[in-house]
Amino acid sequence: MVLLRHAVGQSLRAARTSQSRTLREVAREARVSLGYLSEVERGQKEASSELLNAICTALGLALSDVMVDVTNELKSRETVTLTVVDAA
5-33 per-residue burial string, b: 16 or more CB within 10 A, e: under 16: bbbbbbbbbebbeeeeeebeebbeebebe
Name the residue among 36, 50, 42, 32 with its Cα closest to residue 8.
Answer: 42
- Helical H segments across 1-88, by residue range: 4-18, 23-30, 34-41, 49-58, 63-87
* In the complex, minimum distance from the CB of residue 74 to a copy of itself, in angstroms, rounded to a whole number: 4
Please tell me whether residue 1 binds a copy of itself under the rule CB under 8 A.
yes
Applying CB under 8 A, which part among 10-18, 25-33, 34-42, 68-76 lies near a copy of itself?
68-76
Among 50, 84, 85, 88, binds a copy of itself (CB under 8 A): 50
Please tell me whether residue 6 binds a copy of itself under the rule CB under 8 A.
yes
Residue 40's identity, in one-letter code, is V
* In the complex, minimum distance from the CB of residue 75 to a copy of itself, in angstroms, rounded to a whole number: 5
Summarize as ranges the residues that interact with a copy of itself (CB under 8 A). Answer: 1-6, 46, 48-50, 52-53, 62-64, 67-68, 70-71, 74-75, 78
